[in-house]
Amino acid sequence: MVIKLQWTERKKWRDILHHLLDVTMFLARQNLPFRGHREDMLSINKGNFLELVELLSNYDPVLKEYLLEVKHAIPSQTSGRRVSSYLLPNIQNEFICLLGNNDKEKILADIKKAKYFGILFDSTPDISHADQMSEVIRYVHVEGDSVEVRESFLGFFPIAGKTANELTKDILSNLESDGLDINFCCSQGYDNAATMTGIHGGVQKRIKEINPKVLFVPCANHSLNLCGIHSFGTNPLCVTFFGTVEKLYCFFSLSTHRWEVLKENMNPTVKRLSQTRWSAHHDAIKPLKKQFEKLIIALETLTDQRENVDTRGSAEVLLKALFSQATCFLQKERLLQESISNSSMTKIFNEISDDIMVEIMRLRTHGGCQNHT
């Protein structure tokens, strides 16, 4: 009888833990927060974790009974009654760590089964401004007749310094803690920072000194991004043009009133540039190219005497910049297409001819723009 009661109690707690782990995996997979602002049992919204547990309890009597025990135990804690609770924040964190470690062990076992692998590391600061390195392992997964190249993210780890020697030590130490032998590494990939890619003293060179067979493959996306940034950065006209595009976004986004005026005339609205994603330059130019006249009307509206001095002055400056030769190629789709196929932007800007100047004069005299040239 006692053994049966023990078995029943054990099964009950296992069922409860299975439900709580399922909730944890769901929230983690969906990248949803666990905690709520107030998590006491009398709160209207206790956060995703506790609310999901209560939702599941409506369909599971064991979980329902457990929640009732926890609720009744809270006001009677002073009487000495104690109920094990797996709903506390530290328990939630422990669930996350246990599930994460279990997944990581499975991935590492798969990598070791493949034997040979490639490494991908990149550093980035988190929201608390602590510098950390991300670790991704590339390997071949074979299962039956299926062969698949996989890239598995293993996690973040803090880095001790910025020099190539310090970063190399951090990478090797982390690989060793994961049980991965650097001698079985076949490739390495990083961004194009000199510390990582230097051919004399960079991380990739130091890794090669340990294992000469490790091939270095620079990040193709980062290389293309740098190509766009540096090629356009050598031409003053391009620098002026993209500077004006960025100023447009800053001007309108600084005020809700300005943004409403822009939305009344343009849809979609202006977008900002990104130094780390060159495609953002195309996204920023596209609405300007298609709705250039509407943008002019929005700026004209903001030069009205009823606007404050700062708004009027900034709108005047942007209007003059938009009518410069550096930005008037927005009116010619041919020039934009050539800018993609031809790496020499100087040649393209030299092709701005009389027909564009005619377009400029038309815009100046249309919509009341003559006062801002």
**What CATH number does residue 144 fall under?**
3.30.420
Ramachandran sector of residue 133 (left: φ over 0; alpha: ψ -120 to 50; beta: rest): beta
| Single-letter code of the amino acid located at 211 | N
**Do 69 and 126 sit in the same domain of this protein?**
no
Look up residue 86 and give its two tokens: 């797996």
**Do 245 and 368 sit in the same domain of this protein?**
yes
**Do 60 and 188 sit in the same domain of this protein?**
no
* pLDDT tens, N- to C-terminus, the chain (373 residues): 778 778 888 888 888 899 999 999 999 999 999 988 887 767 788 889 989 998 999 998 888 888 888 877 755 444 445 556 788 888 889 999 999 999 999 999 999 999 999 999 988 887 777 888 999 999 999 988 899 999 999 999 888 788 999 999 999 999 999 999 999 999 999 888 888 888 888 999 999 999 999 999 888 878 888 887 788 788 787 888 888 888 999 999 998 999 999 998 888 778 888 777 777 888 888 888 788 888 889 999 999 888 899 999 999 998 888 877 555 555 554 444 544 444 444 444 444 444 455 555 555 555 444 444 4
Peptide bond before 268: cis, by omega within 30 degrees of 0?
yes
**Do 61 and 110 sit in the same domain of this protein?**
no
**Do 257 and 364 sit in the same domain of this protein?**
yes
C-alpha 293/C-alpha 222 separation (Å) is: 35
- Please, are residues 182 and 203 in contact by the beta-carbon 8 Å criterion? no
- Please, are residues 159 and 125 in contact by the beta-carbon 8 Å criterion? no
Q: What does the pLDDT look like over 230-262, one tens digit per residue?
A: 887 887 878 888 888 889 999 999 989 999 999
Residue 92: inside a domain, yes or no?
Answer: no
| Single-letter code of the amino acid located at 33 | P
**Do 334 and 229 sit in the same domain of this protein?**
yes
Residue 351: inside a domain, yes or no?
Answer: yes
Beta-ladder partners of 120? 136, 189
Task: Tell which of 87, 121, 156 closes a domain.
Answer: 87
Residue 111: inside a domain, yes or no?
Answer: yes
**Do 161 and 182 sit in the same domain of this protein?**
yes
Reference 152, options 105, 210, 98; nearest CA is 105
CA distances from 325 to 42, 232, 331, 371 (A): 65, 16, 11, 18
Handedness of CA 238, 244, 249, 254 (dihedral sign): positive
- What is the domain range of residue 18? 2-87
Residue 100: inside a domain, yes or no?
Answer: no
- Alpha helices in the chain, H assignment, sequence order: 2-29, 48-57, 61-73, 89-114, 164-177, 194-197, 203-210, 220-233, 236-253, 256-265, 279-290, 292-301, 309-322, 333-341, 345-350, 354-365
- Please, are residues 107 and 129 in contact by the beta-carbon 8 Å criterion? no
Torsion of CA 19, 21, 27, 33, to 10 degrees: 110
**Do 207 and 134 sit in the same domain of this protein?**
yes
**Do 177 and 254 sit in the same domain of this protein?**
no
**Do 265 and 336 sit in the same domain of this protein?**
yes
Task: Tell which of 167, 202, 218 closes a domain.
Answer: 218
Residue 33, burial from CB neighbour count under 10 angstroms (0-12, 13-18, 19+): exposed
**Do 344 and 235 sit in the same domain of this protein?**
yes
Task: Tell which of 186, 218, 250 closes a domain.
Answer: 218
Residue 97: inside a domain, yes or no?
Answer: no
Q: In what order do the strands lie in the sheet with 131-143?
A: 146-158, 131-143, 117-125, 185-189, 215-216
**Do 229 and 214 sit in the same domain of this protein?**
no
Residue 96: inside a domain, yes or no?
Answer: no
Domain count of the fold of the chain: 3
